[in-house]
Amino acid sequence: MRRPSVHAFALVTVLAVPFAAFAADQGAPPTPTVDVKDTIQGTTITDPYRWLENADDPKVKAWSDAQNARARSYLDALPTRAGIKSKLTQLITQTSSAFYGLDPRPGVVFAMFNDPPKQQPMLVALNENADPDSRRVLLDPNALDVKGGFAIDWFVPSPDGSKVAVSLSQGGSEDGTLHIYDVATGKEIEAPIPGVQYPTAGGSAAWTHDGNGFWYTRFPGDERPEIDRHFYQQVYFHKLGDDWTKDALVLGSKQGLPRVAEILLDNRAGNETVLASVQKGDGGEWEHWLVKPGAAPVRFAKFEDRIVSATIGADNFIYAISRGGAPMGKVIKLALDKPVLTSANVIVPESQVAIVTKEGARSLTLTKDRLFVHDIIGGPSQVRVFDHGGVAKGVLPLPEIAGVDEVEPLASGDVLYSVSTFLRPRYYARWSAATGKAAETKLAVTSPVTFDDTEVVREFAVSKDGTKIPVNIVRRKGTKLDGANPTVLYGYGGYGVSQEPYFVGPRARLFLDGGGVYAVANIRGGAEYGEKWHLEGNLLKKQNVFDDFYAAAQHLIARGYTRPEKLAIMGGSNGGLLMGATVTQHPDLARAVVSSVGIYDMLRVELDPNGEFNVTEFGSVKNPAQFKALYAYSPYHHIKPGTNYPAMLLMTGANDGRVNPMQSRKFTAAMQAATKSNLPVLLRTSATSGHGIGSALSEKIDQQADMLGFLYDQLGMSWTDPTPPPTR
């Protein structure tokens, strides 16, 4: 694959190949080094494992296979793993079916349906009251591949609910093709359209008000050189029955959309006008366009206007979340026929509470006479209720320390909203427009896992600069603070993605059964306290994220929950970067590290397609100040030979389009060569998964069994099934 050239800002020198590099991690496959040096911003950078970037090289494949064999030899021999996997399989497959991603239409509610032990979730239709007993399967990926090779990326029903557009991808790649199905018959009615979805920019679709056509995102594919295949996402229009290869280009680079455009299309209300929201990479900057048949698209909000989320109501008004002069967010309203921001009315002013603006999520929900605003307060959720003019009408009832993902409007004016806590599985409550009260529905997950012996406490660590960092601690009642508890601390800290309460489930239950404590830190880089919280943890301020996480770990030690030899840290993706930075900056902090699909070489990440989208979050080596910040914390470049590093389990997927697996390969090789602790550094690469999205159930269970087996081994935990199956 072609890739952007580094030569514009680096001088590359390749010298002889010394094949005498042996791993300090005894038992790890020896890794040759190549003396490669880059000069970036006047600084000479050594990159001895550059050769591991080429996944097509047979030597790289052989190296990866050897690493996998070594990891499997270790993991499969663990005395606890078989029992843990058996118990995980039992608990996960005995968990009840689950509905999520609800999308109501007149007379029908579409939803994703997860039914263990099937490998992949299905698309189903429910009646207008979302009664789970009315479930009818519309598309079952398991029928396409019993091993779970196919996954549904997303779906969009037509306004009348008679048709549904579905993006399908394979092998966890998130490389989606669009399929159109007739809801009554379940049959596919159009030729599939490839290239509509990819991890770099995602994908989206929106139907016309009459359901005779739809707008959809598509990447250039063969229309551009290979280098641009996953850039320049554009919007096309397809009329049912037409040849998709002749579909008209509606919105794209001709209108000035950036190379790293990420487009979300929305027509929930079934209007003649569709909203196209365009994000510039992953940094939270948005512009918004109005699109309708037979007319040129109209932009009503530019990136600099700080409109971060918008939707069009059935009343032909635009409702939007603005951060213009309001970092915590305010809600504005403007007429669809005169979309001029200067004439917009502020209907929900900024407050001390941050309004949530999740990517792809419905931050604002409209019914025929109510507006629901999703807030976050340090981690837990709040949903405020207003009329369309902004008059406050109360809040949706929630348990203490709960998270809300969805607030979905029904034709009656009621809403269904999802609720999760750390100790209770997801369920939906129905808020009544008539009474203003809410009641739980039958849309609820039941689990064989119980947490009657468990409690959740929120404590606050103090970071290096004095900032208070929430730490959510899941512990058994009566836990002694004697420093003896095996403890795992999870963190993420990036992209404005907040760690809201979620059901910790079987994996955490099994960790607690071994005497453990499970903790989640609400560190900066997320948006738990609004956009300011995010901005204090990105670009030049990324070090705050690592300081916050270190402070959370030190808090757990100081409070007596654990001690370094009983502490493990865990994270994935951007959280994998967090793991790499933490372990290289504080190698004596923890005994064990579990890092999944992580980013470790911050000087090379932007050369991958998705890495270019991440520049708005991390920065670029082309910028002198940003290069200095990146180089200061880049984990790969701060591994020190002869250091006592903790045991590490690094996990990646061969089909990952978000984080190049080479990141894990290079970091593993460098860490194995440097460590002198006699603790293993393991690399596990799955050939049938990607970043984790769309993975088959069997793959997820195997990953969790490996993680738990590794933690049990390294933290000195013993496994005894507290609820063994009855003997015959």
**Per-residue pLDDT tens digits for 177-215:** 999 999 999 999 999 999 999 988 999 999 999 999 999
Query: To the nearest whole number, what is the mean pLDDT of the chain?
Result: 92
What is the pLDDT averaged over residues 306-324? Answer: 95
What is the pLDDT at residue 226? 52
Query: Which residues contact residue 473 at a Cβ distance below 8 angstroms, ignoring those fewer than 6 apart?
Result: 456, 457, 458, 459, 517, 518, 519, 556, 561
Q: Characterize 158-181 residue by residue with b for buried, 16 or more Cβ atoms within 10 angstroms of its Cβ, and e for exposed.
A: bbbbebbbbbbbbbbbbbbbbbbb
CA distance 619 to 603: 10
**Per-residue pLDDT tens digits for 267-279:** 989 999 999 999 9
Whole-model pTM: value is 0.92
Q: What angle do CA 375, 380, 384 make, to 5 degrees?
A: 30
What is the pLDDT at residue 222? 55
What is the pLDDT averaged over residues 121-129? Answer: 95
Confidence check: pLDDT of 52 > 60: yes
Q: Which residue has the tokens 């020896």?
A: 30
CA distance 713 to 445: 32
CA distance 533 to 653: 31
**Per-residue pLDDT tens digits for 359-394:** 655 789 999 999 999 999 999 999 999 999 999 999
251 and 287 Cβ atoms separated by less than 8 Å? no
User: Which residue(s) pair with 217 in the sheet?
Assistant: 235
Q: How confident is the model at residue 695 (pLDDT cuts 50, 70, 90)?
A: confident
Query: Which residues contact residue 356 at a Cβ distance below 8 angstroms, ignoring those fewer than 6 apart?
Result: 363, 374, 375, 376, 381, 498, 527
Confidence check: pLDDT of 5 > 90: no
Confidence check: pLDDT of 722 > 80: no
Confidence check: pLDDT of 15 > 50: no
Confidence check: pLDDT of 326 > 90: yes
3-class DSSP assignment, residue 567 = strand
Q: Which residue has the tokens 């045991």?
A: 647
Of 204, 140, 175, 68, nearest to 693 by C-alpha is 175
Quickly count: other Cβ atoms within 10 Å of residue 351's Cβ. 14
β-strand pairing of 567-572 with 487-490: parallel
Confidence check: pLDDT of 445 > 50: yes
**Per-residue pLDDT tens digits for 83-113:** 999 999 999 999 999 999 999 999 999 999 9
**Per-residue pLDDT tens digits for 244-257:** 999 999 999 899 99
Report the Cα 323 to chain-centroid distance in Å. 23
What is the pLDDT averaged over residues 511-530? Answer: 97
As a whole-number percent, the residues of the chain with pLDDT over 70 amount to 95
User: Which residue(s) pair with 235 in the sheet?
Assistant: 217, 251
Quickly count: other Cβ atoms within 10 Å of residue 505's Cβ. 20
What is the pLDDT at residue 693? 76
Confidence check: pLDDT of 12 > 70: no
Q: Characterize 205-242 residue by residue with b for buried, 16 or more Cβ atoms within 10 angstroms of its Cβ, and e for exposed.
A: bbbbbebebbbbbbbbeeeeeeeebbbbbbbbbbeeee
Lowest mean pLDDT among 82-91, 426-435, 604-613: 604-613
Confidence check: pLDDT of 13 > 70: no
What is the pLDDT at residue 698? 86
CA distance 588 to 8: 39
CA distance 562 to 553: 9
What is the pLDDT averaged over residues 454-473? Answer: 98
What is the pLDDT at residue 469? 98
What is the pLDDT averaged over residues 667-696? Answer: 89
Lowest mean pLDDT among 11-20, 107-116, 430-439: 11-20
What is the pLDDT averaged over residues 172-176? Answer: 90
What is the pLDDT at residue 10? 32
Confidence check: pLDDT of 1 > 70: no
Helical segments of 485-586, H only: 505-513, 531-535, 543-558, 574-585
What is the pLDDT at residue 716? 96
Lowest mean pLDDT among 239-253, 653-667, 704-718: 653-667
User: Which residue(s) pair with 681 in the sheet?
Assistant: 648
> For 13-89+449-714, which CATH class?
alpha beta
Confidence check: pLDDT of 727 > 70: no
What is the pLDDT at residue 720? 82
Q: How confident is the model at residue 508 (pLDDT cuts 50, 70, 90)?
A: very high
CA end-to-end span of the chain, whole Å? Answer: 58
Of 681, 688, 618, nearest to 652 by C-alpha is 688
Confidence check: pLDDT of 657 > 80: no
What is the pLDDT at residue 23? 55
What is the pLDDT at residue 164? 98
2-6, 122-126, 607-611, 685-689 — which one is most confidently predicted on average? Answer: 122-126
Largest CA distance in the chain: 77
3-class DSSP assignment, residue 104 = strand
Burial class (CB in 10 A: 0-12, 13-18, 19+), 543: middle
Q: How confident is the model at residue 563 (pLDDT cuts 50, 70, 90)?
A: very high
Lowest mean pLDDT among 89-98, 217-226, 438-447, 545-554: 217-226
Lowest mean pLDDT among 246-250, 653-657, 669-673: 653-657
Lowest mean pLDDT among 23-37, 280-294, 340-354: 23-37
